[in-house]
Amino acid sequence: NAGVMQNPRHLVRRRGQEARLRCSPMKGHSHVYWYRQLPEEGLKFMVYLQKENIIDESGMPKERFSAEFPKEGPSILRIQQVVRGDSAAYFCASSRDRGNTEAFFGQGTRLTVV
Partner 1 sequence: DQQVKQNSPSLSVQEGRISILNCDYTNSMFDYFLWYKKYPAEGPTFLISISSIKDKNEDGRFTVFLNKSAKHLSLHIVPSQPGDSAVYFCAAISYNNNDMRFGAGTRLTVKP
In the complex, least distance from residue 72 CB atom to partner 1, rounded to whole angstroms: 25
List the interface residues with partner 1, window 36-75 (CB under 8 A).
37, 41-43, 45, 48, 59
Q: Is residue 7 within the footprint of partner 1 (CB under 8 A)?
A: no
Q: Is residue 28 within the footprint of partner 1 (CB under 8 A)?
A: no
Nearest to 111 by CA among 65, 71, 72, 68: 65
Q: Are 68 and 55 in contact (CB under 8 A)?
A: no
Distances (CA, A) of 58 to 62, 83, 87: 9, 21, 20
Q: Is residue 108 within the footprint of partner 1 (CB under 8 A)?
A: yes
- Residue 98: count other Cβ atoms within 10 Å of its Cβ: 11
Q: Which stretch binds partner 1 (CB under 8 A): 17-25, 61-69, 77-85, 87-95?
A: 87-95
In the complex, least distance from residue 43 CB atom to partner 1, rounded to whole angstroms: 6
Q: Are 1 and 104 in contact (CB under 8 A)?
A: no
Q: Are 29 and 96 in contact (CB under 8 A)?
A: yes
Exactly one of 61, 80, 100, 114 binds partner 1 (CB under 8 A); which one? 100
Contact residues: partner 1, CB under 8 A: 10, 33, 35, 37, 41-43, 45, 48, 59, 89, 91, 93, 98-105, 107-108, 110
